[in-house]
Structure 1
Amino acid sequence: MNQEEQLYLREDVYFEPLVNQWYAWPYLLPPVPGARHMVNTHRRIMSSFVKNYRLHIMAVNQPGMAGSEFMDCSEEQVDEIKALVERINAEHADLVELSDAVRELDEILREHTSGESIEHLYERIPGPLKGYVEISMDLEHHPSYRLIESLLYRSRYYKKSLQSVSFGILDEAGQRPFVLSTPRLPAADNLQLPIDYAHPMLDELFRAREFPIPASRVDALFEGLETSGGLSPRDLFTTQAPPQRHQPAGEGVHMAYLGHAGFLIETPEVSILVDPVIAARGESFSDEVLSFSQLPERIDYICITHLHQDHANLETLLQLRYKTDTILVPRNNGGTLADPSLRLLLQQFGFKVHELDDMDEVPVPGGRIVAIPFLGEHGDLNVRSKTAWFYELLGKKIFVGADSSNLDPNLYEHIGREIGEVDIMAIGMECVGAPYTWLYGALHTRLVSKKVKESRRLNGSDYDKARQIADVFKPSQVYLYALGLEPWYKYFMGIDYDENSMQMIETGKMLESCQSLNVPAERLYGKKSVVLA
């Protein structure tokens, strides 16, 4: 009897969760922020392309245009983009009305300047938002509102039908198309499925990166599912086992850099991922990339520092769901438009999620995980869903602060008294970030001036701020990271540095400062392993 062929999901296969054909990141899925982005970002950009596609085609071919609002589509795709715009206007007119209702409610609240009771304003709440908001006043008598998010996820505005998934294969250079400015249309180089992210076949599919499944099972997974694009399901699989596997942690605390803002922290008893963005492994970068097959068979905790797509990366989290026990996330503000709940979002996809407030801690075998207050990097918006992380394992102390900006050194003085000196300090130093409207502009209901945009940026720590943190924690080792240096992340980072970039200058100062103090320090790139014995 012939033995059935056993197949692995290929290491160079990449996965993209989609929302109405756009690459999914956390602000696109909560109903109200998602509606604002659909109308004020996606529909606007696509309408611009339909009206003047030649300008878009010309612009995306210019150097340095990654991250801009020009679509990377061809003239032949104009009709497909036009159909997506029409789909928003027709099939999702209720989401357009929901987006408009936010603007109307903002105008109503701006008009209320007397400081007197706001109870009568409930009658004026626009229809789509009635029953989904609470209006309140601050102590200076300024009105505002909060969204009742748990109800909105149970409403008609949370549409699983908008979700779909796409699979592609890295090109010869190991690259993927930039994802944030262009919808992902079915094409010769992808395979798309109209299923939501909670579909059970996804977990079995991603498990096949490590454990092979029979060819007949592959066929069964896709049987009955409508597919589009030029790839077939079998194109995603190979008979070749991954060449590299996870090596179990020996004695001590093992810390591996995964790229960008990601770390794997292990002891013989516990495995923890921090802000994972796991890259598909292509031939071009195979020796520099720590990919899915090298992760532990079980992840006890995934810790997310904040909601931005390079930290709360849905693409990676969905691929790790089958092996993950608990995701730890920061608590949000309780319903503000700019600060949706990461807990509620991830629970829609079947994750077990535990929400932490400032200085809350979770006991783990051999130690604890502590949520550390995190200032800055959000353009001065009232965003509470952000935390740095402190790990105390087997007597060793690790501080991980992706994108933390030391706006008030007194905060770290207080924290230092609580946690003491650390063995490892990892600090993000993306010190010149994009204007905050790059992520949050769609949420505004009035035009933001250029002066405001340029002033309020998504900045992490520069040298002075990072050094002040190090002065408090007195680390034995320092690692600078979350800079977007790795080229395999350009598909969503879109960053190019040279030696004159402020990020390189400021991190260079930090490295020199550490060297003068005989403290080992490194600007992380690719992968790196450290053992604290």
Structure 2
Amino acid sequence: MSSSKAAMRYLATSTVVQPLIHRWYAVPYFAAPHTGAMNLAKRQLPALRSYLAAPEAHALALTNPDMFGAPFVNAREGGPAAIEELVERTLKEGQPRLRLAEDIDTMRAVLKAKADGGSLAPLYAELPPSLHGVSELVYDTAGNASLRFFESLLYRTAALQPEAQTISLLPRHDPNQPFVYGSPVLPHGRAELNVPFSAPELGELFAGHRRQVDVEQLVELFELAGAQQEIFRGLFTDREPRPYTYAAPGEVRMRYFGHASVLLEFEGFTVMTDPTLGYDDDGHSHYTFADLPERIDVVVISHGHSDHFSLETLLQLRDRIGTIVVPQTSGGTLPDFNLRVFLENFGFRNVVELGEVQSLDLGHARITALPFLGEHGDMDIRAKMVPMVRIGGRGFLFATDTSPIDPSIYELVGREIGTIDALFIGLECVGAPMSWLYGPFLDTPIGRDHDNDRGLKGSFAGPADKVAQQVGARNVFVYALGMEPWLKHLSGCWYDPEAEQIKQSELLTELCARRGVSSELLYITDQRSWPSGSEAVTPTRAK
């Protein structure tokens, strides 16, 4: 179909774009083949069956706001009939993943029974079919046998399930969307593109954020029919995008987009951390996709948790990103999936891994990966880093969800840290139980006491203040607490003024003030500017 002037429109900046797999929101641990298999078999299907056994109990539990992040299914208008249909369809269409999950458990049982410290070579004959060619049998130094996966090869197997992937589009943010770890996303009122996440044609759709695109050509490209066409057409507007205003020459500017998303800019060069963005017209005033520049030169991912590694955001920016920097991992275990392999298999280019205390120079910026302690339930997870970004002669340290249980790290890497103009640190000092995220990967369930003791915790105020002193931070910002209402379906939490996290933020402000250092909790929208250079100055502020 030839283009017509009437068909040329912009993708509305209120349009919500959600990647789904088997109707579940595609957080990284659901999207990767092996981790997705274990979640499908041990989290998602059991949750749906539990709901079908007692839908009233699930509905009653969710009337308590404190149960929002708990494992209760919200079927909304679909009710039991929709969930029953989803279970039947998943059992049929999810066979490649369900088989992989079953085979992983089978091989774990074989290793437990037969790996007695001798050679593991004879046990390769007992590998189930889905594990042949994609796994290795190994001992750790304590003599415990386990599976190690060749992740790049796993993405070449049927367990990737591109046919189960959907791009689901909503006209605007749904403030009542259920928690994505607890409930599937049912198709009511959505336009749905039945294409894999790696589909290059998605770039043409998302180009509509910045330029006019031919809506009717897109309707044909994505083979939309019936009511889906009208919903899809309603996602576009004649309103031109907001123009982007770059920072003044010689100025280093920081813009806070919410949670752990910070945009740094100097002389037109941009670096963004952990992009997890919201949309316009969601009832809140904050920076959104519409406030981004045409190109983001560098994206830095601190770790693979879904509130820091958002496939929803990254897919929309895929063609606008120059380089993505991720933490290096040996990979191969269920909880420690490889971020580079993941991104490359979903169509991202120029993905670079950084090992501990390695640095990378890109344009006006130097990115250094520092060690990351805590928040991962004491699991052996290496795909994580505390990024330090030096840009325009200024230093920014993003301590994300780290818990400085051994602060001597920052003394040993002091030379690499240098002068820090701003420390960003999370004070999620309570955290969910370890099994909330990692339960489907465990060989055997963990006891409740240990589960809570190993919770996914960040820092308290006292240790955070010590880190700030160690690195000589001139400004301290608390962030990544999951406070943003538009991210509630991802974070599973929100805080009232009496929450411990808020109290710790206030305490950190007091501790820093005693030393003459500024500290505050970032929320909604914040922008700061520093002159380039290394001299100590008070940053200018705009909100």
TM-score by length of 1: 0.94
Residues 269-326 of structure 1, C-alpha deviation per residue, up to 9 Å, x if partnerless? 42111001110111621xx310112101011111000000000000000011121111
Is 1:197 the counterpart of 2:194? The answer is no
Structure 1 residues 313 and 228: CA distance shift in structure 2, 3 A: farther
1:334 to 331, 334, 338: 331
- Partner AA of 1:373 in structure 2: P
Contact 1:497 1:504 in 2 (8 A): yes
The answer to whether the 8 Å contact 1:404/1:427 transfers is yes
How many angstroms apart in 2 are the aligned matches of 1:99 and 1:413?
Answer: 43
Partner residue of 2:512 out of 486, 511, 514: 514
Cα pair 1:186 1:229 within 8 Å, conserved: no
| Residue correspondence of structure 1 range 205-244 to structure 2 within 5 A | 205-222=205-222, 224-225=223-224, 232-242=231-241, 244=242
* Corresponding residue number in structure 2 for 1:63: 65
Report the 3-state secondary structure (helix = DSSP H, G, I; strand = E; otherwise coil) of the residue aligned with 1:362. Answer: strand
Distance across 2 between alignment mates of 1:458 and 1:236: 38
For residues 377-414 of structure 1, give each alpha carbon's deviation from its aligned partner in whole angstroms, at most 9, with x where no partner exists: 10000000100111112221111111011121111111
Aligned to 2:293: 296
Corresponding residue for residue 477 of structure 2: 479
How far is the alpha carbon of 1:212 from its aligned partner?
A: 2.1
Aligned to 2:489: 491
Distance 2:49 2:499 in 1: 34
Report the equivalent of 1:179. Answer: 180
SS at match of 1:529: strand
When residues 499 and 216 of structure 1 are mapped into structure 2, their CA distance, relative to the original with a 3 A threshold, is closer
Could you tell me which residue of structure 2 aligns to residue 351 of structure 1? Answer: 348
Q: Which deviates further from its counterpart, 200-209 or 434-443?
A: 200-209
Cα displacement string for residues 486-518 of structure 1 (whole angstroms, at most 9, x for unaligned residues):
111112112121233221121111111111111
Match of residue 456 from structure 1: 454
Q: 1:408 aligns with which of 401, 406, 419?
A: 406
Matches within 5 A, 1:268-417: 268-282=267-281, 284-285=283-284, 288-352=285-349, 353-417=351-415
Gaps of 5+ in 1: none
Match of 1:21 in 2: 23
Q: Deviations over 1:26-66 (max 9, x none)?
A: 11122111111011111111111222222222222222221
Q: Matched residues in 2 for 1:205 and 1:132: separation?
A: 35
**What is the CA-CA distance between 1:91 and the residue it aligns to?**
3.0
User: Could you tell me how far 1:472 is from its partner in structure 2?
Assistant: 0.7
Comparing 517-526 with 140-149, which one deviates more in the overlay? 140-149
| Distance in 2 (alpha carbons) for counterparts of 1:240 and 1:367 | 34
Comparing 122-131 with 388-397, greater Cα deviation is found at 122-131
Q: 1:83: Cα distance to partner?
A: 2.2
Change beyond 3 A, Cα 1:227–1:475:
farther
| 8 A contact 1:218–1:234 mirrored in 2 | no
- Taking the aligned partners of 1:86 and 1:424, their CA distance within structure 2 comes to 52
> What is the deviation of 1:334?
2.3
The answer (yes or no) to whether the contact 2:24–2:183 under 8 Å persists in 1 is: yes
Greater Cα shift, 228-237 or 130-139: 228-237
Alpha carbons of structure 1 residues 210 and 182: separation in structure 2 relative to 1, 3 Å: same
Q: 2: CA distance between counterparts of 1:504 and 1:258? A: 19
- Aligned-residue identity in percent: 34
Structure 1 pair 362–239 and aligned structure 2 pair: CA distance change class (3 A): same
Quote the offset at 1:75 in angstroms: 7.1
Q: Find the counterpart in structure 2 of residue 47 from structure 1.
A: 49
Q: CA deviation at 1:130?
A: 2.3
After superposition, the C-alpha distances for 1:402-431 in whole angstroms (9 at most, x for unaligned) are 101112111111122332231111111111
- The one-letter amino acid of 2:134's match is Y
Residue of structure 1 in register with 2:118 after alignment:
116
What amino acid is aligned across from residue 337 of structure 1 in structure 2?
A: L
Question: Per-residue deviation at 1:124?
Answer: 2.3
Cα distance change, pair 259–175 in 1 and its aligned pair in 2 (3 A): farther
Contact 1:4/1:215 (CA < 8 Å) preserved in 2? no
Q: Alpha-carbon deviation of 1:72?
A: 1.2
Number of the residue aligned with 1:167: 169
AA aligned to 1:397 is G
CA spacing shift, 1:22–1:3, aligned 2, 3 Å:
closer
Name the CA distance, whole Å, in 2 between partners of 1:345 and 1:126: 24
* Greater displacement, 306-315 / 341-350: 341-350
How far apart are 1:217 and its partner, in Å?
Answer: 4.0
Could you say what secondary structure the match of 2:369 adopts?
strand
Specify the code of the residue in structure 2 equivalent to 1:415. Answer: V
Distance change >3 Å, CA 60–CA 169, structure 1 → 2: farther
Aligned equivalents of 2:267, 2:143: Cα separation in 1: 55
Aligned to 2:146: 144
Distance change in 2, residues 1:111/1:177 (3 Å): closer
Q: Deviations over 1:347-403 (max 9, x none)?
A: 112112111111111112234111111111100000001001111122211111110
In 2 relative to 1, CA 439–474 (structure 1 residues): closer, same or farther, beyond 3 Å?
Answer: same
Contact 2:9 2:212 in 1 (8 A): yes
Residues 164 and 195, structure 1, Cα contact 8 Å, conserved in 2: yes
**Residue 101 of structure 2: aligned partner:** 99
In the other structure, the counterpart of 1:470 is: 468
Query: Which residue identity is paired with 1:350?
Result: G
Q: Structure 2 stretches of 5 or more lacking a match?
A: 532-543
Would you say how many aligned residue pairs link Structure 1 and Structure 2? 526
Paired amino acid for 2:449: K
Report the equivalent of 2:262. 263
Deviations 1:170-203 (A, max 9, x none): 36x866443332211221x211121111223321
Aligned-partner residue type, residue 213 of structure 1:
V
Calculate the TM-score normalised by the size of structure 2: 0.92
Cα offset, 1:228, TM superposition: 6.8
Greater alpha carbon shift after TM alignment, 57-66 vs 156-165: 57-66
What is the CA RMSD across the aligned residues, in angstroms?
Answer: 2.0
Q: Residues 202 and 473 from structure 1, CA distance in 2 versus in 1: closer, same or farther, beyond 3 angstroms?
A: same
Contact 2:75 2:82 in 1 (8 A): no
C-alpha displacement of 1:13: 1.4
1:231 CA drift (Å): 5.8
Q: Aligned partner of 2:369: which letter?
A: A
Partners of 1:264 and 1:271 within 8 A in 2:
yes
The amino acid that maps onto 2:191 is L
Instruction: Report the CA distance between 1:225 and its aligned residue.
Output: 3.4
Q: Which residue identity is paired with 1:133? A: S
Taking the aligned partners of 1:445 and 1:88, their CA distance within structure 2 comes to 24
Distance 1:333 1:3, change over 3 A: closer
